[in-house]
Amino acid sequence: MDIALYAPGLGYYAAGARKFGASGDFVTAPEITPLFARALAAQVAELMRRSEPAVLEVGAGTGALAAELLAELDANGASPQAYTIIEVSADLRQRQARMLGSRAPNLAGRIRWLDRLPERFSGVLLANEVLDVMPVQLLSWRENGLLELGIALDGDGSFRWEERPAHGRAPEYARRIIVEPPYVSEICLPAQAWVEAWGTILERGALLLIDYGFPRREYYHPQRATGTLRCHYRHRAHDDPLLLPGLNDITSHVDFTAIAEAGAAAGLELLGYCTQAAFLLNCGVLDILGRIPPGSGARYLKAAADVQRLLNPAEMGELFKVIALGRNVRGGLLGFRSGDRSHTL
Ligand SMILES: C[S@@+](CC[C@H](N)C(=O)[O-])C[C@H]1O[C@@H](n2cnc3c(N)ncnc32)[C@H](O)[C@@H]1O
């Protein structure tokens, strides 16, 4: 997964595939509607007031979230002093620079890109749909023990799955997971290491991580005995990561219990965990929708349908979650005021 997504010049996120939008492979919430970023801005503004007026976005995609968030914060007199982006894809970084150059030219002096995590940061860290593309290990629980599914190369140059002993920290980590064999699923140790790294970097403020996933108990549910690894190619979801490597997005759902545990191990406080629907409603997405005059006809109807897609439990409302991990931030957070499910982690 690491090579297929990130190998320099060849990996899906390292090479020039289109990825986003109608001509790409998938759409994300900020690409569906600007109202996602506008609602998120309310939480970002509250957190900046309680820490520092700085935003750091990891994996900014096309730059749509950054552009809309900056516009909304600016309109509310709450612009950050710095908006920093960390992006692994050189091609997406160029797209972000073009998008922000045209959409937020007045804020250009505050926007910068970093090649690696900073040593210290105070403010708000945002990552939408980034944890789900961090490389996983596929584990296979058998009656006679734990194995890992690796990829082997056949004599004719084709790839095939190969079972081998689980390696690295996987066997030790897998003790936290209770399943009935036979069972195949994934673990994502890089996502945990990444959260733990923020435990050292974050001085004051919070990480807001948005993604699809569940608490551990639901993640490793008997009904999910083949795991959650999925690929996206031209708006078709399939589950064969060996097909067209480098041209498919490969993702897995996020185990939010693992993320909360990694935060706790690194001294970060769990500030909230809820569904995307609850979070956006708490942040006033319906009031923002209400600002569009219903008399504007097609424009209002499209915005209402897009918001419905973000909130509907059968679409993104329930599967997508928001988790906030922080340090030195006092008081409850707006986005988790109602419907906080921290107790389920
Ligand atoms: C599925 S896209 C989501 C993009 C955007 N946040 C959105 O919601 O539209 C994943 C993004 O994360 C980037 N990415 C993946 N792993 C990363 C990492 N370890 N650090 C920084 N960016 C990363 C990808 O290049 C891409 O921009």
Q: How far apart are CA 138 and CA 226, in angstroms?
A: 10
Asked whether residue 92 falls in the same domain as residue 151, the answer is no
Residue with the smallest CA separation from ligand 1 atom 22 is: 59
Do the domain assignments include residue 118?
Answer: yes
In terms of domains, do 130 and 156 share one? no
Confidence of residue 118 (pLDDT cuts 50, 70, 90): very high
User: Residue 103: inside a domain, yes or no?
Assistant: yes
Q: Are residues 45 and 193 in the same domain?
A: yes
Asked if residue 16 and residue 118 are part of one domain, the reply reads yes
Does residue 242 lie within any of the structural domains?
Answer: no
| Number of domains composing the chain | 2
Whole-angstrom Cα distance, residue 54 to residue 58? 13
Q: Give residue-wise pLDDT tens across range 130-149.
A: 999 999 999 999 999 999 99
Cα-Cα end-to-end distance for the chain: 27
Question: For residue 332, what is the domain's CATH number?
Answer: 3.40.50.12710
- Among residues 145, 161, 186, the one where a domain terminates is 186
pLDDT of residue 345: 98
Which residues does 291 contact at the CB level (< 8 Å), separation at least 6?
A: none
For 16-72, how does the pLDDT look when each residue is reduced to its tens digit (9 = 90+)? 767 777 777 788 999 999 999 999 999 999 999 999 999 999 999 999 999 999 999
130 lines ligand 1 (CB under 6 A): yes
Ligand 1 mean position, distance from CA 93 (Å): 10
Q: Do residue 72 and residue 159 come from a single domain?
A: no
**Helix spans in the chain (H):** 2-6, 29-32, 34-50, 64-75, 90-103, 170-173, 189-201, 216-219, 256-265, 276-282, 285-290, 298-311
| Residue nearest ligand 1's atom 1 by CA | 129
Nearest 5 degrees, angle CA 20-CA 279-CA 193? 65
Q: Is 241 part of any domain?
A: no
> What pLDDT, in 10s, does the model give residues 328-341?
998 899 999 999 99
Same domain, 159 and 232: no
Q: Are 111 and 96 a contacting pair, CB within 8 Å? A: no
Q: Which domain holds residue 90?
A: 2-134+188-236+247-344
Q: Are residues 203 and 286 in the same domain?
A: yes
Does residue 92 sit in the same domain as residue 158?
no
Per-residue pLDDT tens for 250-284?
999 999 999 999 999 999 999 999 999 999 999 99
Is the beta carbon of 211 within 6 A of some atom in ligand 1? no
For 27-36, write each residue's pLDDT tens digit: 899 999 999 9
- Check residue 293 and give its pLDDT: 84
Residue 235 — pLDDT band, cuts 50, 70, 90? confident
